[in-house]
């Protein structure tokens, strides 16, 4: 790990001022790996630093900012979660478990209990891809000497959906659930703040000069706003091992009901694309239907209709079908 400066500011404005000093002497792709970085739980950043993928010259600790929201607050319009809220807090919060079980379920299976007590919600949304080509210095697109290493190499854990050249998978455990809930993030900078839908917060980069989120240099993610809960919801995750492992496929669903019929559905897949993947075909299929074993299975098939698997990850298509089916049955209170 290379030497770096360390600052422990007390306010958001102080932190933003420090972060705003970064970026002027770096190319965009390098700016994300060097320069000034915010530090919260550090569960991802420190790993990148130890592997020499990231080499920040300056870390700005945001854990002690007196005016940075933390914890979970109930509002008339829904929930507000501070960026420093830990995954353990989300997993065990009574209101989240009762009204937003898909979020508690997503948090409960992330990493290990030790990491969930350290890892923050903001950090979970902002963690960098787990793609081994990215983490060995070949950029977000996995390119070397003009060759796409992902398409011609070991790609069993990569994307099965693509709307661009990036074939890494978004690593966020909570991102798909927040997209399904219609949540927004608040981003604060020296020029003010802006609210961005989580669905639009994640992007699929077209070049190595881009990032996988819309966070700009000098901005801090301060809080996440979730609309008031309604309907049924659930998350189902598939991984290779019950012990600490990265998911292979997940599905988060939110269903608005008219009696026993689905009025509208949100179905969002995780770990299958460079951003949480909204399964439009499954949503359209579910409208007006009841949740049965058969319709849940058919919705799973619709969800992967546009999948474009790579040479070694076709198996993820079937797992994604299963994740959608079981998420729907879980939301309906049926045994899976």
Task: Choose the final residue of a domain: 31, 52, 67.
Answer: 67
Number of helical (H) and strand (E) elements in the chain, helices listed first: 14, 14
Task: List pLDDT tens digits, range 239-263.
Answer: 988 777 789 999 999 999 999 999 9
Is 189 within a domain?
no
> What pTM, to 2 d.p., does this model score?
0.93
The CATH number of the domain holding residue 22 is 3.30.43.10
Predicted pLDDT at 22: 61
Is 218 within a domain?
no
Is 60 within a domain?
yes
For the chain, list residues with pLDDT below 50.
24-31
Burial letters for 26-63: b for 16+ Cβ neighbours within 10 Å, e otherwise?
eeebebbbbbbbbbbbbbbbeebbeeeebbbebbbbbe
Partners of 195 in the beta sheet?
186
Domain span at residue 317 reads: 232-331
Q: How far is CA 237 from CA 178, 251, 261, in A?
A: 15, 7, 25
Is 17 within a domain?
yes
Angle at 238 between CA 228 and CA 320, to 5 degrees: 80
The CATH number of the domain holding residue 327 is 3.30.390.50
Task: Choose the final residue of a domain: 51, 67, 83.
Answer: 67
Q: Report helix, strand or coil for 231.
A: coil
Predicted pLDDT at 245: 79
Predicted pLDDT at 33: 63
Using a 10 angstrom Cβ sphere, with 0-12 exposed, 13-18 middle and 19 or more buried, the burial of residue 242 is: exposed
Query: Which residues lie below 8 Å from residue 152, measured CB to CB, with a gap of 6+?
Result: none
Predicted pLDDT at 50: 86
Task: Choose the final residue of a domain: 67, 88, 115.
Answer: 67
Predicted pLDDT at 24: 44
Is 224 within a domain?
no
Predicted pLDDT at 32: 54
Predicted pLDDT at 218: 85
The domain total for the chain is: 2
> How many Å apart are CA 260 and CA 330, to the nearest integer?
15
Task: List pLDDT tens digits, range 278-305.
Answer: 999 999 999 999 999 999 999 999 999 9
Q: For the chain, list the strands marked E by DSSP.
A: 5-7, 36-39, 58-61, 72-75, 78-82, 143-144, 147-148, 184-189, 192-197, 220-227, 232-239, 247-258, 261-270, 277-278
Is 257 within a domain?
yes
The whole-angstrom distance between residue 172's C-alpha and the CA centroid of its chain comes to: 3
Is 225 within a domain?
no
Is 34 within a domain?
yes
């Amino acid at each position: 790990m290379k030497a770096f400066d360390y600052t422990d500011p007390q306010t958001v404005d102080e932190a933003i001022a420090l972060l705003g000093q970064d970026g002027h002497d770096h190319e965009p792709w390098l700016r994300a790996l060097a320069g000034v970085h915010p530090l919260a739980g550090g569960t991802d950043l420190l790993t990148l630093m130890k592997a020499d993928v990231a080499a920040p010259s300056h870390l700005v600790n945001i854990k002690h900012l007196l005016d940075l929201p933390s914890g979970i607050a109930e509002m008339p319009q829904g929930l507000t979660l501070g960026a420093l809220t830990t995954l353990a807090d989300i997993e065990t919060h009574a209101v989240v478990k009762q009204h937003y079980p898909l979020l508690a379920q997503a948090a409960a299976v992330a990493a290990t209990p030790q990491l969930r007590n350290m890892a923050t919600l903001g950090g979970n949304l902002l963690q960098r891809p787990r793609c081994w080509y990215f983490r060995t210095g070949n950029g977000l697109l996995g390119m070397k000497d003009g060759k796409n290493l992902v398409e011609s190499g070991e790609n069993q854990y990569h994307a099965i959906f693509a709307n661009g050249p990036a074939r890494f998978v978004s690593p966020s455990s909570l991102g798909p659930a927040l997209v399904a809930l219609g949540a927004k993030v608040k981003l604060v900078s020296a020029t003010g703040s802006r609210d961005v839908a989580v669905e639009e917060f994640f992007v699929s980069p077209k070049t190595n000069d881009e990032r996988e989120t819309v966070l700009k240099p000098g901005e801090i993610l301060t809080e996440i706003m979730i609309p008031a809960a309604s309907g049924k919801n659930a998350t189902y995750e598939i991984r290779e091992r019950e012990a600490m492992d990265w998911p292979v496929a997940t599905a988060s669903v939110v269903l608005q009901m008219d009696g026993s019929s689905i009025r509208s559905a949100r179905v969002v897949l995780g770990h299958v694309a460079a951003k949480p993947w909204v399964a439009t075909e499954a949503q359209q299929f579910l409208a007006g239907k009841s949740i049965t074993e058969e319709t849940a299975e058919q919705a799973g098939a619709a969800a992967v209709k546009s999948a474009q698997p790579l040479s070694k990850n076709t198996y993820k298509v079937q797992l994604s079908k299963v994740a959608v089916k079981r998420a729907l049955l879980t939301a309906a209170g049926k045994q899976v």
